Structures are given as C-alpha cells and as structure tokens.
Chain A
C-alpha cells in the first residue's frame, strides 16, 4: 500500500437484511488529511465508517487500514487502539450520570494510561475544548454542543492516528460547531500524522475539508480534493456541486426553494401569544420571561445555542410542560394541558425521535391518522400523499430503528403535518436531514404557510433555513436576545451574514471573545514524542477495573436502584420468614352425626379437641355436606353412620367416612395424616377402656426423630432457602440490565472500538454486582440470626465461599441473558421467567431435589440454585462444612465459569 493511503476499501458491499447499504464500494482514503464523506441520508456513510473503524463485521470485500486487513482479528487487536471512533447521535458514547472528567478518565483507563498521564491529557483536552469549567458536571446535563466536544475528548485521549467521526455536529448550534472544527484543526496542527474521516450532512462544513468522497445510493459517486470536485462539476458551491453529481432522476426532484411573500393576515387574533413565559426546574431557570406574538400563517424561527430553552418553550406551548410563570395563548385561547381541540390544531415534532420503533412507518402513520380521527375514507389517500411528499415509499414497511437519522426525521415531519393542523411546532425538524430532503421539506412548509395559512413555529441550527423565516428570534440562556426579520437583524448588527450576526449575538451573551482564536500551541514546543505503538496486552487488569469502576459509579449515582437492591431481599426475607409455613392448622371441620350416641360424640370430640381442627356448626343432611365442602366453608367433614355406637360395642367394626377438600392436595395430604393419627389414638383409647386385648399396632412404637430442626419449625428450613432465592433473583435482575443497557444507549460502541477484551468487559461489569450480592448476603445472614434466631451451625467459611461462587454464577446468568437480548424489557422479562421457575420449584425450596424426577430433576440440577440450596441449608441447620459439600462448591464454580464462557461466546465485539 502506498504511504499516502490510510484506509483502502475494495469491493465492499454491506446489507442490513434486505436493504443494501453499500454496493461494491472501492475507494482509497488519503492519510494525514481531513476527509469528508458527504451524501444524503441512508446512502451508507455510517456503514462505511463503521467498517473502517472495525466495529462492524465485513460482509464482502476488503478493508485495509494501517496496511492490514480489518477482517483479521489479530490485526484489529494490534492496531485497533490507533483508531478512535465517534458514533452518530448526540453523546452516544457518553455515560450521562458520570461527570465530564469521569467520562474522559474512563476512556483513558481503557487504554491503560496511568494516573498522572490521564490527568495531564485530560487537563490538556478540557482546556482546548473549553470544557474545563464544567469538569464536574454530569454528561447528561450538558448541552448538545458540549456533549459532542466531550465525545471528541474521549476519542482523542489516546492520541489516535485515525479519527473517525460520524456526523459529529448534527444538532449542534453554529457557535459550538465552529468551535468544534477549530478544535479539530488545532489538534491536527499539533499531531499532523493524524488522519480524520468525517461523515456530515452540512455542506458548509464539508467546504472546510481537504478531500471529499460523495456518496449516493450505496456508491461513491465522486472523490478527490474539493477543488477537483468543484472543477469537475463547474459549480462554485459544494451544495450545488453535489446536486450536479446526482443521477439525472434525483437531480430532477430538486428545485430551488423560493419564499413567496405572505398574504396579509385578516385575523386580529395572533396564532401564538406568549407573555412572560417562565419555566424553572429547581434552581435552574430554563426559560426566563419570554414574550412573543406570532401571526397566523407566519413562519417563525427560533435560533439559539444548545440548551438555551428553545425546546422547553415549545413544550410549554404544546401543554407538555406547565409554565412556572406567565401565560401563552394559542389562537386566542389559553393553553391548557387537557384542551383537546387545541391539540387537534397543533402538529408537534420533538427534538428526539419519539415515534414507535416497534411499529412500521405505515403503522405509525396510520396510528396517528386514526387518533386524530381523520375520516376513514381519507386516511389511505393522505398517507399515500405523505409517503410521496416525504419520500418514504421505499421504507414504508420498515421499522424506524433500522432507518438512518434523516429518514426518521422525515417520518416525524410527516406525522406532524398528517392531520393538517393549523399550527406546526417543530423542534429542530431538519437536524440530520440531507440538503435535498431539507429543501423539499421547506417547499412543503412554504406551501402550508402561504396557501393554507398554517402558522409554523420552528427551531433550527441551519442559517439558510433561518433566512427563509418571516421572522426569527435569537435565544440564549433562557432569554430572548433579539426578534425581527432576518434582514433587520443583520442590518442592526452591521454584519455580513445571518450566521455572523447570530454567532456575534451569542458570543456577546456568553462573554466569548470571538477574535481570540483558541491558543494555537507552538508547533515547536515540547510535545511529548509520539509514543511507540504498544500493542495492547491480551489481558489487562486496568481495563477490567475501568469497567468495574464505571459500573460501580453508575450504580452509586442511582440510589433508588441501590436501595431496591438491598431492601428488596430483606423485605422478602421478613415476609417469607413469617409467611411461608407448611404447618397446617385451624382446619375447618364439621360432622354429620347420624348416630348421635355417646360413642359418636366421643369421636367428634377427639377432633374438636385437637389444635389442628376448628369445629363449625354441625351438618344436618348429606346434601349440606356436599354444599358446604363445595363452597370451601369446610375443609373436612366426618360422616358417622346410623348405628355407629351399637356396631362399635358389638365389635362389628363400623365404618366412618371422612371427606377432605382435595382442592389443595398438600393441605389434604397433611389433613389425612392428622385424621389417621387421631383415628389410631381413638381406637387405642377405646380398646384400653373396653377390651382386654391389645392392638397389634400398639405393640410397635415408632420413635420419630426430627433431625436438624428438632422443633420442626418451618422457619429453620425456610430462612436458608430464602437466602438461596434472594441471591439469584436480585443479582440476576441487576446484572441482566448491564450489557443490554449499553446496547440500547449506544455506549456499547466504547466496547467495540477500544482494546478492551470480551472477558474484561463482562467480568469487569460483573464485579460490582457480585459485591452488592455479597453485602446483601451479609445483611440476610444478620437478619436470619437476629430476627429469626436461625444460627449458622456449620462452617461459616464454607458458607461464605459457597455464596461467593453462587453469586458469581447468578450474576453471570443475568449477564448471559443480557448478551443475547436486545432490549432491557426482554432482558428483565427473560431473567424473571427463566430464573423464578427453577429457583422456586426445582431447587429444593418446596420439594427435595432427590424426590424430583424426569425433566424437573434435569432442570433443577442444570441450574445453580439446586446446588446452593444444600450449601445454605447445610451450613445453617445441618452443621456441615467443606468435607461434606465440596462437590457442591465445585459445581457452583463450574456454573460461574460456564455462564461467563457462554456470555463471552455470545457477545460480539463487532456488529453484524
């Protein structure tokens, strides 16, 4: 490979299911350059970047990075650490509860950096990005622009040689965007050997790059230095050049956006009127006395830095958030959260995707059409029209989660306008949407405004969009800085362009000196010499610890989860200790005495005198016996035949029928035992009084010795078993969330794009849950001893070791489920179902495992619970130690290892 090529892609095709993302792409990316990949949504930009970064598995073709094959695991392991990858989406690789410092620190640890090195690098990066005042702020509380800067810091912590950024500035305001690119340039100035590959939908940004690859429909349609691309198409702007490069059919779709003048509104009532609108969250004032009037049919643009209160204002207008102070009127009516008519008149689109990912595009549209009660004969036509207008026909049966950001936005727009509302409130509707689709969307907006008089209130970060608005408002830190037509604002400020005006306002409000460029470091200054590439170690306890530490911090920041984790088992133990009892008492019985002699009454007294039975009103007829047993009022009925006393006296052995309620077999079985015992006792006493002979049965005496639990109290057996139950349910549920949550939030990308191994990742995340389970174990043992008076008779050391092995196994089981499920919901669901049934039924809790047969026995023995139950019961009540239960300990260790190995096998370091 020639020296000037950082990444070579040869004949690469990639498909997701039926969708072709990349179609036989071959391209060489030059090294040490800033390379842009541009193109509309869903043309395969992200797929291409992910393949180069090695976080996706190559299907066909070859990708060569750093002169090695990215399909080769050894090459990836050796050189993967030289690549940094920042996935699409705001702050997707960040942990929201961790602070700015902790997020970067975590990444530093993943690359095995020592404490001093991390501190130095983090300070440098924070200073360069201007994040240094916010070192302790949780990432979740940062604005979009700050999140992206933080993501970049995380990516740059290890001085990568190849930086891959997937739409890093989508949804970021122009001021922050400018700062972001300045930052990258500064870093490139310092480390010229670094190559950067960026995907972007902003053409104005792409103009800053050295070299471009334009993509369309899974293919690269042009590549080369910018000047070359402009020259080839004979255009002056990149946007125009790109459109010129598109195939004829697509080019035909594109038309200039022409803003027509707005007809004068004939209504005196403004569409939206807000006065002193204020919203506070605790001490923080998100929106601070905002007032404005928007006329009917007006297109009103809301501009401002990320986190300045635009979204909060919009939410207040839609009734989603109540205002702390001030008021707003829509069409002259005060906005109430339950005003259905106003809701029908408003179409709202939130900033984050908020449609159903589990419904297809068509189903989403249908649902909204029906909830807005469009006449049923119009629905189909309306949906067809929208599919056409927003170019969604090809994806009509896909689910949104498989679609690129831009297409999802188009779907949200289609939904917002579906019911032809008189007002649209759109929160950054075009973030992440490509220029052609954006223009098409704007033509729609203009038609709606000019032809149908629809009022449009939108926020945007695109200056060319702001220029198309009738009026715009600039917002910063909850306050409106300026309102007016774009021309007025530019004129007032004496700027050259709207972007300049905007950045100027914001910089002034934020106290930033625009002239002072970020201090360019002296290129000759003592820069630490690029360290020789150390191939990452196969196993590095530091990386494992990085994940453990981070997981622990996240747990500690969620006190509710932590409290549940400790309190749940204790509450359960108390409930079970008192509640679960196999002692059957107070059985409701009555007799149908058809004899009514002293003998028959004596028999009934034998029952009523027993503490197990509780006598009810006598039964009079056979039908009544059936009826009272049937209603559940009686659990036992004795039927004494006529002539019982006479037959007894004459030795004719009368027959007494005893009816049991067999609805609950366990209770009936126990009752049967009681009845047998009472009958024998009665017979013995009767014989002693009335006969000279001895009964054979009375000759033999069975001495029953209840071992381990002389008092035969349920609590002695239940408490150790409940510990078994608690130490699987809670730890497994907690760890089941561990991996799948990272899949859902996107931070799994950190695992995929850093040198951490599967084992380090899994075991590192497991450690905190093991610790929690062990603390929980100590609490449970204390409760057992103090509250229930169940002491540990056997070896404590054996119990502790057995428990440790057991909780490694149970947390491992949770993680195993976590590796193959896709959502947290199904992970919790699967863990609950798969663990409760064997733990309750086949572990020895209810029935000794030795008495189980067939499938039940297999399930029991195939799960750690049945092996731990004897350890817990043995140590508590049977007084056993290591010698007795060594095999159980070995089996528990086996499960611990097995679950970890299977998880390791199922976990994918690369996406498919």
Chain B
C-alpha cells in the first residue's frame, strides 16, 4: 500500500454532505444513549421522577380547597351552631374540631388550624328574633393557597345553613337568582388533573437540562470532547447528538408517564391529541436541552453547573404558570418570562391541548415561540462551544 493511497482512501469512502452529518449524528446519538444507560443511579432517578414523584405530588399536594383545617369555638352551643359545625365536613374540610377560645392562638401559631370560627353566645336566639348576628372567622393568611378560597367557602356554608335553619319564616326571603357555576374541562376542579401534568412538564424541564448539561460537562472534565474534536465531526453534530439523545430519553419517559401514571393510574382524562402534545413536547425538549448545553458551556465544573442550573430551573418552574397563575404576575415579569423562558409557552400549550382539547390552529403560536427560543439557545450554545473548546 502506498502512502498516497492510505491518505486518500478513507476520504473517498463513506457518505458525504448532509448524509454524512446525519450518519455522524446517528452514531453519536447511539453513544450518548449508551452513556445514559451506563449510569443506573441516574436512570432510577428518572423513573422515580416520572412515576412515584408525579403520583405523590398529584395526590398529595392539592391546591384545591380540600382537607382544610378548621376549628370552632362554640359559645352558643345551639342547634344552629351544631348544624354549622356538621356542615364543615370532608372532603372540603378535615372534620371540624371544637376548641376553647384560649387555644386559638396556640393552634393557629403552630399551623395546625388555618381557620377558626368563633360563634358567639345567643347567636341562634338573635337570628330567630330577626336580629343581625355576627360570627368571627380567623384565617391564617400565611396559607396563601387556602386562606382566600377557604374563607369564601366557609362564608357561603354559614349563609346556607342559616338560610336552611330559618327557612319558612315569613320575614325571610330566599335569594332572587340561582347561580349555577360549572367548570369546563375539569368539572370537579380536581387539582390532581392539573398537578400531575404540570409535574410531568416540570420533570421534562429539570431532567433534560441537567442530563444534557451534565453530559457536556462530563466530556469536558474527562477530556473526551477533545478526542471527538480531532475526529471528522463538527461541534454542531456533537451538540445535536446530545440534544437528540437526552431529549429522546426524556420524551419517552414523559410519554410513558402521561399514559401510565397520569391517564391510567391517576385516571385523568386527556381531552386533546396525545400526538400533538408529544410533538410539542419534542420541540420543548429540544429547547431545554439546548439550554442545558448552553449552561454546560458557561460552567466549567459540575460544582458550578449545579449552582447555576438550580436557580434557573426553579425560576423556570415556579414562574411558568404551572404553579401559580401567569396572570397574577406583574405584567413586565410575564413578558420577561415569556421572552427568556420556553416554559410558559409550553405550559400554556399543554393546558390548551390536554385539557381543552385545542388543535394546532389554536396553539401554533406557542410552538413557534418554542422554536424561536430554542434556536436562540442553540446558536448561542454553539458559539460558546467553539470558544470554550478551541480558545481559552
């Protein structure tokens, strides 16, 4: 074999152009998948996050008014006060406990009771004689998710019970209109429907960013990326392979989680097209994977990466509309979040598709936003990647 032949032979073989890039990406994706498989701790954590964690968060932490803790200081000890106490019953309330006035502070200070209702003496007698009567409702206003809604419920229950008690007496008229409130898409306002899907989304964000970013940091720390770069592959191929492989793993996990944990185990009905959702999720996974790579180029060690990624992830999660309503945020912050983070768009997309059964015509704008934000991340990551690896 002559030297000339040796030097040109490999170049002539193999595919060229786009096919070459695709072939390289394919090989690198396989490598990434093998790397992921090689870390059992990581895989167990992924499975845990998409199964048990989704289930416990969905069933355990409900923001719907449920299991409210209520105490009653009953100084009237009348039929009416007993009726009111009995009306504060599960599932909306944990059974009301009767306490003495002395204990109010103690119980509320420790957060054991969020609501304490004080019914004054001669409450029933006053009402029967047509006099106005007051009850006092103490609310622990640090329990933000329950205080507002819970006090409205308690007020209407008291009104209801008083109305029933006084029914038929001539001086009293019933309400002139009957307002029937119905909730579309989630008739019983079961918060598990919401939290389960949001938990899946949060997992997609968290796991994709950490997996992809860590995959890059690991290559940098172990020096393997240097080896990749002397081979006939370009940085974009290396990055795309990481994005595709890690995105794929998370996407499959999210799809399974949605089908098995959310639909089957938690019995949450899904109104829209699962295919459309998964297509959107794929775009989202691409976007957050690009974010992971970007963070991986900004940090130089795992220690730095963890400290950089955690605050960003927590902000992305809590300010995305998946924990508290987007509308409650100041308008400027809503805009900021929608520009820098893909999560609000994906949360809005998911809610529309999964609950309201929206089609592509409704959600296309969110998909466009995902693509735009993802491309910006990717481009920036690519420029950083070259600088970090080649320059100093």
**What's the least CB distance linking A394 to chain B, in Å?**
20
Q: Of A585, A683, A696, A821, which is within 8 A of B176 by CB?
A: A683
**What's the least CB distance linking B133 to chain A, in Å?**
6
Q: Are B191 and A666 touching (Cβ within 8 A)?
A: yes
Also in contact, A675 and B181, with CB within 8 A (given A399-B38, A832-B310) = yes
CA distance A695 to B176 in the complex (A): 9
For B69, give the chain A residue with the smallest CB separation.
A850
**What's the least CB distance linking A313 to chain B, in Å?**
15
Residues of A within 8 A of B324 (CB): 580-582, 666
Q: Are B173 and A697 touching (Cβ within 8 A)?
A: no
CA distance A360 to B234 in the complex (A): 24
**What's the least CB distance linking B250 to chain A, in Å?**
13
For A655, give the chain B residue with the smallest CB separation.
B178
Q: Are B35 and A660 touching (Cβ within 8 A)?
A: no
B102: Cβ under 8 A from any A Cβ: no
What sequence of 0s and 1s flags, for each residue 452-476 of chain A, a beta carbon within 8 Å of any chain B beta carbon? 1110000000000000000000000
A20: Cβ under 8 A from any B Cβ: no
With A322-B391, A340-B232 known, 11 other A-B pairs at CB within 8 A are A320-B229, A331-B7, A373-B10, A564-B308, A582-B324, A676-B179, A683-B177, A696-B159, A701-B134, A733-B307, A884-B110
Looking at B60, B162, B317, B321, the one whose CB has the most chain A CB atoms below 10 A away is B60
Q: Are B231 and A654 touching (Cβ within 8 A)?
A: no
Also in contact, A359 and B185, with CB within 8 A (given A648-B177, A841-B60) = no
Name the interface residues of B312-353: CB closer than 8 Å to any CB of A: 313-315, 317-319, 321, 323-325, 327-330, 333, 337, 348, 351-352
**What's the least CB distance linking B352 to chain A, in Å?**
5
What sequence of 0s and 1s flags, for each residue 66-100 of chain A, a beta carbon within 8 Å of any chain B beta carbon? 00000000000000000000000000000000000
Residues of B within 8 A of A686 (CB): 176-177
For A451, give the chain B residue with the smallest CB separation.
B1
Q: Are B328 and A829 touching (Cβ within 8 A)?
A: no
Q: Are B189 and A662 touching (Cβ within 8 A)?
A: yes
CA distance A741 to B159 in the complex (A): 63
Q: Are A586 and B7 touching (Cβ within 8 A)?
A: no
Residues of B within 8 A of A718 (CB): 144
Looking at B9, B149, B167, B191, the one whose CB has the most chain A CB atoms below 10 A away is B149
Q: Are A878 and B171 touching (Cβ within 8 A)?
A: no
Q: Are B306 and A714 touching (Cβ within 8 A)?
A: no
**What's the least CB distance linking B158 to chain A, in Å?**
6
Which of B11-19, B258-266, B370-378 touches A? B11-19
Chain A to chain B: the 4 pairs with minimum beta-carbon distance, closest first: A856-B60, A373-B14, A662-B186, A662-B183
**What's the least CB distance linking B98 to chain A, in Å?**
17
Residues of A within 8 A of B4 (CB): 267
**What's the least CB distance linking A707 to chain B, in Å?**
6
Name 11 interchain pairs, CB-CB below 8 A, sorted by A.
A321-B390, A345-B11, A374-B13, A558-B303, A630-B357, A680-B175, A699-B132, A699-B162, A707-B139, A734-B307, A823-B39
A179: Cβ under 8 A from any B Cβ: no
Interface residues on B, range: 35 or more
Looking at B176, B189, B311, the one whose CB has the most chain A CB atoms below 10 A away is B176
Q: Are B175 and A697 touching (Cβ within 8 A)?
A: yes
A730: Cβ under 8 A from any B Cβ: yes
B121: Cβ under 8 A from any A Cβ: no
Q: Are B138 and A707 touching (Cβ within 8 A)?
A: yes
For B7, give the chain A residue with the smallest CB separation.
A422
CA distance A824 to B214 in the complex (A): 9
Also in contact, A632 and B233, with CB within 8 A (given A356-B35, A666-B64, A717-B142) = no
Name the interface residues of B62-97: CB closer than 8 Å to any CB of A: 62-69, 94
Q: Of A357, A701, A827, A851, which is within 8 A of B132 by CB?
A: A701
Which of B218-226, B274-282, B283-291 touches A? B218-226
Q: Are B176 and A575 touching (Cβ within 8 A)?
A: no
CA distance A830 to B210 in the complex (A): 10
Also in contact, A850 and B231, with CB within 8 A (given A661-B184, A826-B39) = no
Q: Are A658 and B180 touching (Cβ within 8 A)?
A: yes
Q: Of B39, B181, B233, which is within 8 A of A358 by CB?
A: B39
B293: Cβ under 8 A from any A Cβ: no
Q: Of B39, B130, B145, which is within 8 A of A699 by CB?
A: B130
Q: Are B226 and A572 touching (Cβ within 8 A)?
A: no
**What's the least CB distance linking B107 to chain A, in Å?**
10
Residues of A within 8 A of B227 (CB): 348, 350, 354-355
For A627, give the chain B residue with the smallest CB separation.
B362
Residues of B within 8 A of A345 (CB): 7, 10-11
B383: Cβ under 8 A from any A Cβ: no
What sequence of 0s and 1s flags, for each residue 138-166 of chain B, a beta carbon within 8 Å of any chain A beta carbon? 11111111111101111110111011011
B305: Cβ under 8 A from any A Cβ: yes
A5: Cβ under 8 A from any B Cβ: no
CA distance A357 to B110 in the complex (A): 52
Q: Are B231 and A368 touching (Cβ within 8 A)?
A: yes
CA distance A420 to B13 in the complex (A): 13
Residues of B within 8 A of A422 (CB): 3, 6-7
CA distance A718 to B142 in the complex (A): 8
Also in contact, A832 and B142, with CB within 8 A (given A356-B35, A367-B31, A701-B133) = no
For A633, give the chain B residue with the smallest CB separation.
B362
Residues of A within 8 A of B305 (CB): 828
Name the interface residues of A5-53: CB closer than 8 Å to any CB of B: none
Name the interface residues of A662-717: CB closer than 8 Å to any CB of B: 662-670, 672-677, 679-680, 682-683, 686-687, 690-691, 693-697, 699-710, 712, 714, 716-717
Residues of B within 8 A of A874 (CB): 109
**What's the least CB distance linking A114 to chain B, in Å?**
33
Residues of B within 8 A of A120 (CB): none
CA distance A552 to B37 in the complex (A): 35
Q: Of A375, A670, A855, A878, which is within 8 A of B109 by CB?
A: A878
B381: Cβ under 8 A from any A Cβ: no
Q: Are B304 and A558 touching (Cβ within 8 A)?
A: yes
Also in contact, A631 and B362, with CB within 8 A (given A354-B226, A853-B67) = yes
Name the interface residues of A727-765: CB closer than 8 Å to any CB of B: 729-730, 733-734, 736-737, 741
A578: Cβ under 8 A from any B Cβ: yes
CA distance A665 to B66 in the complex (A): 12
For B354, give the chain A residue with the smallest CB separation.
A663
**What's the least CB distance linking A188 to chain B, in Å?**
37
Q: Are A346 and B181 touching (Cβ within 8 A)?
A: no
Q: Are A572 and B323 touching (Cβ within 8 A)?
A: no
For A583, give the chain B residue with the smallest CB separation.
B328
A653: Cβ under 8 A from any B Cβ: yes
CA distance A359 to B171 in the complex (A): 85
Q: Are B35 and A832 touching (Cβ within 8 A)?
A: no
Q: Of A359, A632, A657, A730, which is within 8 A of B362 by CB?
A: A632
Q: Are A320 and B148 touching (Cβ within 8 A)?
A: no
Q: Are A693 and B110 touching (Cβ within 8 A)?
A: no
CA distance A707 to B140 in the complex (A): 5
Also in contact, A702 and B134, with CB within 8 A (given A340-B232, A662-B185, A823-B39) = yes
Q: Are A568 and B158 touching (Cβ within 8 A)?
A: no
Looking at B10, B156, B333, the one whose CB has the most chain A CB atoms below 10 A away is B10
For A629, give the chain B residue with the smallest CB separation.
B184
Q: Are B206 and A631 touching (Cβ within 8 A)?
A: no
A836: Cβ under 8 A from any B Cβ: yes
Residues of A within 8 A of B211 (CB): 829
B270: Cβ under 8 A from any A Cβ: no
Q: Of A373, A375, A560, A579, which is within 8 A of B300 by CB?
A: A560
CA distance A824 to B307 in the complex (A): 13
Q: Of A676, A696, A841, which is within 8 A of B61 by CB?
A: A841
Residues of B within 8 A of A854 (CB): 59-60
Q: Are A672 and B181 touching (Cβ within 8 A)?
A: yes
Q: Are B66 and A359 touching (Cβ within 8 A)?
A: no
What sequence of 0s and 1s flags, for each residue 32-59 of chain B, a beta carbon within 8 Å of any chain A beta carbon? 0011001101100100110001001101
For B272, give the chain A residue with the smallest CB separation.
A630
Q: Of A338, A350, A679, A856, which is within 8 A of B234 by CB?
A: A338
CA distance A366 to B148 in the complex (A): 62
Looking at A338, A341, A662, A714, the one whose CB has the most chain B CB atoms below 10 A away is A662
Q: Are A568 and B310 touching (Cβ within 8 A)?
A: yes
